Chains A and B, each alone.
Chain A
């Protein structure tokens, strides 16, 4: 008698409905936010985009994909057609390009199997020719900043900042030292010098990470140069 109960219970466990039995998503969607094919740098988690699966869903909700600090992104998705939208126009250090297919900033992404796709955008500014030199505990950097968006939506530079981090995640809100020059204080856009002296940390550390960020007036997020390891001596 008891055994038949147990078998009955086991049978219940074996049956489940088709509805909630499906495979996990396994198509990998990767790429970078780029300008002329070169990835742009951001602070980790600043920039994100939304994917809306096209179809007749009762309560649609987007998949949010965060962009890493080197401009790359990756997401595991189901095979389907998605609308890709980069929201937050007053937030990002770039403007979305108009997509010829949709005549708006929406991009249609067809996922079937893994896919690599870069998203071209129009940044307000880009940072080039970054070089670092160290002497003792001082890090000196030079860079050039080029204005890319010169149209009606162009914006001024609020400041250019050299940021030093003790981990490889460096941003204007996560750093141990910084020095900046305001947009008005820049004399030569082709050669902007910045210097930071690192305070000796309590732990024994001589390798630090540096990058340069450009704050654009009226825009929350900064655009950054790639993170570079620098070695100093105390």
Chain B
């Protein structure tokens, strides 16, 4: 019996098929290269994928990356570690995405022979691919210094020797020069239309050129202050003699963008703070946005508002409030008379508290962009006032307000004498209680006031601005300032400041390097400029110097230590019968979760190339100081 079964089992093996067509059928679930590149819509989808894979660091859908530096505190249990580690690892924010480079190169090579595209379509799609490749190399050179410039797809021949695929690093200057030349040569192939924002346009190419040239220029100029951050082969570092050439390229690009007469600063609301907040919430008819990463509620949304709306307006009950801007950042906004000052919490002479009638009074007369970027005590979101109050202060036997009555849960009640009242706001702050405003502040920029934006099932479609006109003007201001053209620089910077709500323009005497740094930091906060700006100005190792220094009392100078995110939390006085009863006072605090200052080492200026990458390609030189 067993024998028969055995034979029966063997018989099917004797058959094979000689019908070759049966085995070589077209797959139904995979699109072949030929098919892909012969259809306009499919080419578009390939391109969309390349757009989607761009290299980013901070972005609106990654709120936590904003909390890595001194401008924000992460009020979430899973992110306190950002304030508990001293050193930035050498491999943080590094990138070596040559898979992406290869895919762009393949795309550029394949659309050349695509039959489904008209000549006009080909010119545009080819330019968009090259634009993305230029952006990619800019992102790589920002992080790694000079990288191998691979401009065609490389193929292994299976000979057992891959050494012909090993390319050495280009110099940092060569990569910057290549990006600048590439942007120049494609800009006229791109559409010049203001309503195209999520794809490459002529305006985006020119605006990006101003940024790229400015980076190269400042690395040349300020790199001279840190000669340790360079390599003998030029893979890192640009010679000082090139600085003015690049500043001029940047300035020319700004003028070229202006001559297109397409873009202008967003100015649709009479209240400058509201206007500044609305600038980031408006996608249509927004003359300022040049290039964005768009989101849609239907297909691709993000949780910025879900994660960061105040607890008082949380639509999911108990989540929100993760990103807390720091006092370091909040106090850097200047007064309306263009002067700088920390917040007055105590009388300079007597040391007594200063008593405010309303919680927002302490922030009065500040740069209107402050209230457009940060939710301050006393402001509202989605029609609900934020409720930030840390507790009541009661007098001791000497009448000093030292005793604190507070509670361990947002909105909790407690007894003061015989009275039971709410002693802590619904938004906190409670030290160590996640999602409460532990620095006393919540974030406002990008916060979506649409109903449903803080619901898990809906979320937000607020766009991420990659390039906007105000940045280009500030690029122009910086380039002109460095070239000694003070009038030109003043013209650019004052346009941005006038829109921001300043009535007194800056004069020639006011315009210093510190001013340029300050203006970028407040105008472009949380837009992924801070780290790269600090790097190119070679300020990062001075500002994040690893010292546990106190907060500065003069926020203007750029080259001073700021390593830990401080907070400014409001209390109320409980002292019936006293004129101070129910008035507001403020205390400067350091959240207890901040246990370590930040230290940016010289080796952090250029990220570490991974050991496995170097062992596969011995021609790669290591970055300095690691």
> Does B626 reach chain A (CB closer than 8 Å)?
yes
Contact at A88–B626, with CB atoms within 8 Å?
yes
> Does A17 reach chain B (CB closer than 8 Å)?
no
Given A88-B625, A218-B228, also A59-B612 (CB < 8 A): yes
Contact at A173–B603, with CB atoms within 8 Å?
no
> Does B602 reach chain A (CB closer than 8 Å)?
yes
Residues from chain A with a CB closer than 8 A to the CB of B625 are 87-91, 220
Contact at B602–A174, with CB atoms within 8 Å?
no
Q: In the complex, A90 Cα to B616 Cα: how many Å?
A: 27
Residues from chain A with a CB closer than 8 A to the CB of B227 are 218
Given A173-B596, A220-B541, also A90-B624 (CB < 8 A): yes
Q: Mark A47-76, 1 if CB is under 8 A from B, else 0.
A: 000000000011111100000000000000
Residues from chain B with a CB closer than 8 A to the CB of A60 are 611, 615
Residues from chain B with a CB closer than 8 A to the CB of A88 are 601-603, 625-626
> Does B597 reach chain A (CB closer than 8 Å)?
yes
Residues from chain B with a CB closer than 8 A to the CB of A87 are 622, 625-626
> Does B54 reach chain A (CB closer than 8 Å)?
no
Q: How large is the interface on A (under 10, 10 to 19, 20 to 34, 35 or more residues)?
A: 10 to 19
Given A91-B625, A218-B226, also A172-B547 (CB < 8 A): yes
> Does B362 reach chain A (CB closer than 8 Å)?
no
Residues from chain A with a CB closer than 8 A to the CB of B599 are 173, 220
Contact at A220–B616, with CB atoms within 8 Å?
no
Write the nearest CB–CB distance from A129 to chain B, whole angstroms.
25
8 A-B contacts (beta carbon < 8 Å)? A57-B615, A59-B615, A87-B622, A90-B226, A90-B625, A91-B625, A173-B548, A173-B599
- Nearest A residue (CB) for B230: A90
> Does B516 reach chain A (CB closer than 8 Å)?
no
Cross-chain contact of B611 among A58, A62, A172, A173 (Cβ < 8 A): A62
How many chain-B residues does the 8 Å CB contact rule pick out? Answer: 24
Interface SS of B by simple majority? loop
Cross-chain contact of B228 among A62, A89, A173, A175 (Cβ < 8 A): A89
> Does B229 reach chain A (CB closer than 8 Å)?
yes
Q: In the complex, A88 Cα to B602 Cα: how many Å?
A: 8
Contact at A220–B611, with CB atoms within 8 Å?
no
Q: In the complex, A62 Cα to B615 Cα: how many Å?
A: 11
Residues from chain A with a CB closer than 8 A to the CB of B87 are 45
Contact at B616–A91, with CB atoms within 8 Å?
no
Q: In the complex, A60 Cα to B611 Cα: how many Å?
A: 7
Contact at B615–A90, with CB atoms within 8 Å?
no
Contact at A61–B597, with CB atoms within 8 Å?
no
- Nearest B residue (CB) for A175: B548
Question: Which 3 A-B pairs rank lowest in CB-CB distance, beginning with the nearest?
Answer: A90-B228, A61-B611, A173-B546
Q: In the complex, A192 Cα to B87 Cα: how many Å?
A: 30
Residues from chain A with a CB closer than 8 A to the CB of B615 are 57-61
Q: In the complex, A62 Cα to B611 Cα: how many Å?
A: 8
Residues from chain B with a CB closer than 8 A to the CB of A173 are 86, 546-548, 596-597, 599
Contact at A220–B547, with CB atoms within 8 Å?
no
Given A59-B616, A173-B86, also A91-B547 (CB < 8 A): no
Residues from chain A with a CB closer than 8 A to the CB of B229 are 90
Q: Mark A22-50, 1 if CB is under 8 A from B, else 0.
A: 00000000000000000000000100000
- Nearest B residue (CB) for A90: B228
Q: In the complex, A172 Cα to B545 Cα: how many Å?
A: 10
